[in-house]
Chain A
Amino acid sequence: MKSSIRIIKRFSVGLGLSILLLPFVSSEPLTHEKEGYSIPFLGYDFVFPRDHGSHPDFRTEWWYITGHLESESPKRSFGFQITFFRSATLPENEESQDSMPRQIFMAHAAILDKDTGIYTHEERFNREGWNAYTDTQTLDIANGNWRLQLLDTKSEEMEVSFSIKANNRQTLTLAPLKPKVFFGDKGVSRKGENPTAKSYYITFPRLRVSGTLIDSQEELEVTGVAWMDHEISSSQLSQGQIGWNWTSLIMDDGTEMMAYVMRREDGQVDPFSTLYLIDATGKLTRIDSDAFSWDPKTYWKSDDTGANYPVGYEIRWTHPNGEKRSLSVRTPHPNQEIIGSIGDFCYWEGAGTAYDESGNAIGKAYTELTGYNESLYGKF
C-alpha cells in the first residue's frame, strides 16, 4: 500500500491546499526541497499566461473550479465542481527506474441538480501522455475528454468542458468578473511550520459562466458564477491534522469570502486556519484563526462511507476594524459526497447557500469537508 499512499498523499495535499491558505511567508529563500522538487519562494515573478499553465518541477498542482448554474427555459439550477490535479511521482531531474508515470493526473467532477437533488460525480486518473496533459506555457489541461483551456490571454476568458458518467456534458465559458487574486504573501502561501510547506496560490474569485449543459440528452443554455483556484506546491500535510473544512462564498453584493479550518486530532483548530474577505474591488482582508470560528450546525451521515459531515455551519468573525459578523451556510441537498472509485478518497464537496444573521440568502457557497470517514494523516 505504501506506494499508493505516496501517490494519493500528493493528491490529498492538493485538496488540502484549497484550504491551506497559510499566511506565513518563509524568511529563508529555499527554492528546492530535499527530494528535489521546487518550492515556492517570495519574490517569484508571476508571468501570465505561463503561470496559468503547469509547473511540473513542483510536486503537486491543481486547477479547481466550483460554480452555480441556472437555465431560463426550462428554469433549472445546478451546482458543479471540476478539478484537475497534477502530481509528480519523481522530481524532473531524477531518472525513472520503473514504468511508473512521472506525472499522474487526477480529476474530479460533480454536478448537482438543485431542483431534484440528483447528484452525480466521477473520478479520473490518467498518466501524462496520450490521454492527459498540461501545457507549461498557458492554461491548457486535459484529462480524457475533460478539458480546461485559456481562450484569451488578455481577458483571461477560459473554457471548461466535461461530462459525468458519459452524460451531463457541459461546455462552459468562464469570464473573470474580477481580476485574479493572490492569496498569502504576494501569492506565496505558507501552510505550516516547515519552511518548505508553502504554495503559490492564484484565484479567480468571481467568474461569469455561460454555456451549455446537456442533461440526459436535454441541452440547456446556462449562465452562472464560479470560483477558480490554481495552486502549486511541493508540500505535504502536517502531523496531527486529520482533515479540513473549506468554503468559498460568492456573495450577491459583489464580495467573496474564502475560509478554511484545519482540524486536528485533539479536536482543536489548527492555527494555520484562515479566512479571507474579498471586497468588490478585489481587495483582500485576511482574518486569522483566532478571529473567526466555524461551528457545525447540521450533520448528514453517509450511508456509503459512514462519515458524518457537518453540512450546515455558521462562521463568525471579527473584522480587523472590530466589526463582528456571522453568516451561516446550508444546503437542502446534503448528499454531495464524492466517493473516489479509483483512488479510494472520499470527501464532501457541496453547493449550498449563504444566509446572513437575519436568515436572508446573501450568496452562493461551495464547501469541502474532508477527513470525516477516516483520519487523513498517515494515509494522506
Chain B
Amino acid sequence: MPESRKGDRFPLVLLRTMVSRVILRRWRMQALKTLGLLSIVALGVSVFLSIGLTNRASIKSFQSFTELVAGESQFSVRSTIDTLDMEDAAVVRRSLQDTEASLFPTLELIVGLADGYVERPGPIYKLIGVDLLASASHLSKIGQSSSSESVSAEGKNVFDHLSEQNVFFASANVAANHNWQRGQTVPFFMGESVVDLKFSGSIPIQSESADDAISALVMDLFALAKIAERSDEIDRIEIVLPEDQRSTTNLSRIESLLEENNPGHWIVESQSARQQSGAVMTLALRSNLRALSALSLIVALLLVFQALDSSVSRRKSEMATLRSLGVSPRTIQQTWIIEAALIGAVGGMMGIGLGSITSRFSAAMVNDTVSTLYYFTNGSGLSYEPIEIFFAWIVSIASCIIAGWFPARAAARTPPTQLLKSKSQYSEYKQSAYVKLFFASALVAIVAYLCPPLPAANGHAIPIGGYILALALIALVIGMACPSLEFLPRIFRSQSPSVKIGLSRFRKPVARHRLALGSVIIAVGMTSAMMLLIGSFERTVTAWMSQVIQADVYIRSTSAATASASNPIRKETYDSLLKDPVVVDGGTISCFDLRFRGQDTLLLGFDAGYLMRKPHISWIGSTPDLNRMLTENGAIINESFKERFDVEIGDPISIETPIGERALSIIGIQSDFGNERGSIGVDKTFISDWMGHERAQGLALHLAEGADLRVAIQEWQERYPALDVFSNRLLREQALKVFNQTFAITYALEMIGLFISVASLAAMLFSSLLERRGEIGALRRIGMSRKALSQAASAEGLGISGLGILYGIPLGLAQGWVLIRIVNKQSFGWSLSISVPWIELLLLAIAVLATGALISKRIGWWNSGLRIEQEE
C-alpha cells in the first residue's frame, strides 16, 4: 500500500478505536447515566416530534373527511360566502363534461351523540352527506366495486340504503368504539333537533385509498339535506380525477375550465391550496406550538452540552495521555463530536419511539384547540409521517453536534500530560465571554425589537423579530447570570460548614454550573412567560366577557361546540323564544364563512337594534353610532380583521354576496377574542337579503324583572332538547373552560420544559459531586456526616435554583411582554392588557427551589455513601 494511503487510513482506524474505547466503553461503564442523558434528549425530541406530527395532522384533517368516500380530491369548489347549491354542482358538472372528473357535492354537519353521556353533547362527529349513487358510479368508473364487497357483504345494496329513512354509516373505528349494531337507532343532536338515525353498517361507498383512521359518519346527501332542513345546499364540491390523469397539464386544464365557468362566487382550490387553507388558518397556533416544543429541545440540548462538558472535564487526564501518545487534537475533537452525534442519533431514535406515545396526547390537546378555534378535527389525520420523523431525528443529531462542539473543542485543546500538571482541571470559560454574550445579545435584542414582522399567508404576520427577541433575551439574561454565580458565596456568609462547602463550589464554578443555571433560567423564564401570557389573557378575556355577556340567557345548538359548525336555529324557533312572556329583550347572531380579499374570514349578522338597546360590545376606540348599520351600510369589524386587512374606521369595503357585490363602510372596531380570522358584522336584515334565509347561530335573551331564571331555562331546555340554554354565569364558565382547553397543550409543554430543567439541575449536581469524590471522601474522614454532606449538596442546588429564579422570572416577564405585545399581537391580532400573576410566579419559585433542594440533597446523600474508588 502506498505511504500516502496508509497515512489516510491511520486516522480512520484510530478514530474507530477512539469511538470504541473512549465513547462506547464509557457508555457501557456508565450505562445508567448514559441512559438518563439519552432519555432527556429523547424527551426533548419526542416533544418536538409530537408537535410536528400533531400540526401536520391538524392540517390534514382539514380536508380528509370526504376522502372516506371520494378518495383524494384534486380540487375543491366552495362558496365565497355561506354555501353552494345543487345548481352549482350542475354547472361544475357541465364545465367538466369532457373530462373524467368525478364530482362529490358534500354537505357537512357537526353532530353530537345525544344519549348515554353525562356531558352534553357526547362525542361529536362530522356527518358527511354525499350522493351515494354518484359515489357508487365513481367507484365503478375507477374499477372499484361498491356492491360486490362492502355492500353485498352486508346483504344490501345502495338502493336499499337509499330507500331507508334516516340511515347513517360510520367508519369502522367509530362503529367499533360505540359498539353500534346494524339497525340500532342512535339519537344525535343536529341543529336544534334531536334526530334518531339508524345505524346501517360501515360506509358502503368507500374509496380504497381512504384513510382507515378517519372518524366520520356518512349519509346520503339528499337524506341529510332533508332532515337537516338544508335542501339544495352543499358546502363544497370535491373533484376527483383518475390516478393516471393527474398530470400537471391536465390539472391546469381542469382548473382553467372551472375558472372559465366560475359564476363569481366559487372558490376553486387545488389540493395543495386547500391544504394551505388549513395550514394558513392555524398558522399562528402551530408556529407558537413549534416554538414552545423547540424550547424543550433546547433545554435538553443544554443538558447534552453539560454532560459532554462534564465528561471532557473528568477525562482530561485521559485526553492528555492520548495527546502525549501522539493522537492529534483533531482526532480527539472528532471523537467527541461523534459522541455528541451518537447521543443525538440514539436519543433521537428513542425520542421517535416515545413520540408515538406523546403525540397521541398532544394530538388530543391540539385537536380540541383547533376544533374550538378553527375547524372540526378529531385527530384522525395523525400518522407517523416519515418526513417529520426524519426531520426530528436530523434536528436531534444536528443539535447534539452543536451542543457537543464546545466540549469537543475543549477536549481537543487539552494539553499533553506534562502541561496538564501545571493547569487547572476545570473548564476555562472566562467571565469575559459572558460579558461579550451579554452585549452581543443586547445588540441582537435591539435589532430584533426593531425588526418588522414578515407578512404571513393568513394576512397576519410572522413575528420573526419577536421570536428572535425572546431568544436574545435568554442569551442576555444568561450572560448576566452566569458571572454572578461567583458572588453567591460572598453574599451568603453562612456559619454552617455544609452551606459553606456547598456554596464554595461557586467560587470557581465550572461550565456545568453555568449550564445548569442556564437550563433553570430558561425553564423558569419560559414558564413564567407563559404564566404572564395566560394570566393576561385570562384577565383580559374575563374583563371582556363581563362586558359582552350581559344577557340573562344564551342559546345555541348543542352540537355547535366547534368553530366550523353552522348548526343554525330556525327563525320560527328564535321568534318563539323572543316572544316568550318572560323575555323582555333579546337579539340573534348569525355567522357565515366569507372570502374577503382572497382570505377566509367571517361575516356576522348582528341585530343592530338589540345592540343599541343593550349596548354590550367592547369597542376599540370610539363608540360608533350603530344606527348607521341600518341606514348607511355600516359594518363593524373586530380587531383581528383590522390587523389582517389593514383597514380602519371610515374605510369603504365591498364583499361578494350571493346576490352580488355589496359596498359597506366600517363604522367601528370591536374587541373580540373569539377567533383570529377576523369578522365583519352587519345588521341581520342585510343577511336575510343576501342569503335568503334568517337562521341564527346564537340567541341572547333578557328576562323580565322577577322572572325565575332557573324555571325559564329548564322549560326552554325541555322544549328544545338539542339546544344548549346557558345562564349568564354558565356561559362565562363555559367560555373559561374553552379558554383553559385552548391552553392545555401550552401547559403540557411548559411542564415538560420544567421537568427537563430540573433533570438538568440534577445531572449537574450528579456529575459535579462525582468529580469531587476524593474531596468528599476526605471530608467524611475528617468527620463530616453524610447528612452534612447532603446538606452541602442541597446548598449547591439551592444556589443554582435560587439564581435561576432570580434571573428566570424577570426573563419570563420580559419574554411574556414580548409574547403579548409582539408575538401575540402580530400572530393573532389581539390586544391584551398585561396582568402579572404574582401568586402563580411565587408558587413557581417555591416549587423550583424545593425541587432543586430536595434533588440535590438526595444526590448528595447518595454520593457521600460511595467509596472513593468506586466507579461512577
Contacts and interface: CB of A to CB of B under 8 A. Distances in A.
Interface of A: 1, 3-4, 6-8, 98-101, 104, 122-127, 129-131, 133, 142, 144-145, 147, 161, 163, 165-166, 169, 340-344
Contact of A131 (B87, B131, B140, B223): B131
Given A3-B160, A4-B160, A131-B131, A124 B141 contact: yes
B140 A122 contact: yes
24 contacts: A4-B156, A4-B159, A4-B163, A98-B163, A99-B165, A99-B223, A99-B226, A104-B133, A123-B140, A126-B133, A126-B137, A127-B222, A130-B87, A130-B93, A130-B105, A144-B93, A144-B137, A145-B93, A145-B98, A145-B99, A165-B143, A340-B147, A342-B140, A344-B147
Nearest to B157: A4
Contact of B103 (A99, A131, A342, A344): A131
Given A122-B140, A145-B97, A161-B98, A131 B134 contact: yes
Contact of B165 (A6, A98, A144): A98
A341 B220 contact: no
B245 interface: yes
B24 interface: no
Contacts of A101: 133, 162, 222
B254 to A, nearest CB: 12
A8 B145 CA distance: 18
A349 B98 CA distance: 26
B158 interface: yes
A147 B97 contact: yes
A131 B223 CA distance: 17
Given A98-B165, A126-B137, A127-B222, 15 more contacts: A4-B157, A4-B160, A99-B220, A100-B163, A130-B93, A131-B103, A145-B98, A161-B98, A165-B142, A165-B143, A166-B242, A166-B244, A341-B147, A342-B140, A342-B158
Contact of A129 (B90, B139, B160, B244): B90
A129 B87 CA distance: 8
Nearest to B227: A99
A145 B93 CA distance: 8
Contact of B100 (A7, A145, A147): A145
B245 A166 contact: yes
A127 B131 contact: yes
Nearest to B96: A145
A165 B139 CA distance: 9
B89 A131 contact: yes
B163 A166 contact: no
Given A124-B141, A344-B147, A130 B86 contact: yes
B502 to A, nearest CB: 78
Interface in B205-248: 220, 222-223, 225-226, 242, 244-245
B127 to A, nearest CB: 14
A341 B148 contact: yes
A123 B146 CA distance: 12
Interface in B95-148: 96-103, 105, 131, 133-134, 136-137, 139-143, 145-148
B157 A344 contact: yes
A124 B158 CA distance: 12
Majority-rule SS of B interface residues = helix
A124 B136 CA distance: 8
A145 B142 CA distance: 14
Contacts of A100: 162-163
Contacts of B225: 99
A342 B101 CA distance: 19
A99 B140 CA distance: 23
Nearest to A147: B97
A131 B160 contact: no
Closest 7 CB pairs of A and B: A3-B163, A4-B159, A130-B89, A166-B242, A99-B223, A166-B100, A99-B222
B100 A163 contact: yes
A124 B145 CA distance: 12
Contacts of B140: 122-124, 341-342
A108 to B, nearest CB: 10
A95 to B, nearest CB: 13
A4 to B, nearest CB: 4
Interface in B392-430: none
A125 B157 CA distance: 12
B107 to A, nearest CB: 12
A4 B162 CA distance: 9
Nearest to B221: A99
Nearest to A107: B137
Interface in B696-727: none
A145 B89 CA distance: 13
Contacts of B145: 341
Nearest to A161: B98
Nearest to A133: B90
A363 B226 CA distance: 53
B93 A125 contact: no
A366 to B, nearest CB: 22
Nearest to A8: B159
Contacts of A169: 100
Nearest to B90: A130
A100 B167 CA distance: 12
Given A130-B105, A161-B98, A1 B158 contact: no
Nearest to A7: B159
B146 A342 contact: yes
Contact of B156 (A1, A130, A343): A1
Contacts of A122: 140-141
Which of A4, A123, A341 has its CB near the most chain B CB atoms (within 10 A)? A341
Interface in B227-275: 242, 244-245
A342 B136 contact: yes
Nearest to B234: A130
B134 A166 contact: no
A1 B164 CA distance: 10
Contacts of B98: 145, 161
A61 to B, nearest CB: 18
Contacts of A133: 90
Nearest to A304: B148
A101 B133 CA distance: 10
A187 B93 CA distance: 35
Contacts of A104: 133
B104 to A, nearest CB: 10
B70 to A, nearest CB: 14
A131 B133 CA distance: 10
A43 to B, nearest CB: 36
Contacts of A145: 93, 96-101
B183 to A, nearest CB: 15
Nearest to B144: A341
A341 B163 contact: no
Contacts of A6: 163
B100 A3 contact: no
Contacts of B99: 145
A3 B131 CA distance: 18
Nearest to B138: A144
A342 B147 contact: yes
A126 B93 CA distance: 13
A15 B242 CA distance: 30
Contacts of A161: 98
A131 B141 contact: no
Contacts of A3: 159-160, 162-164
B89 A166 contact: no
A295 B208 CA distance: 45
Contacts of B143: 165
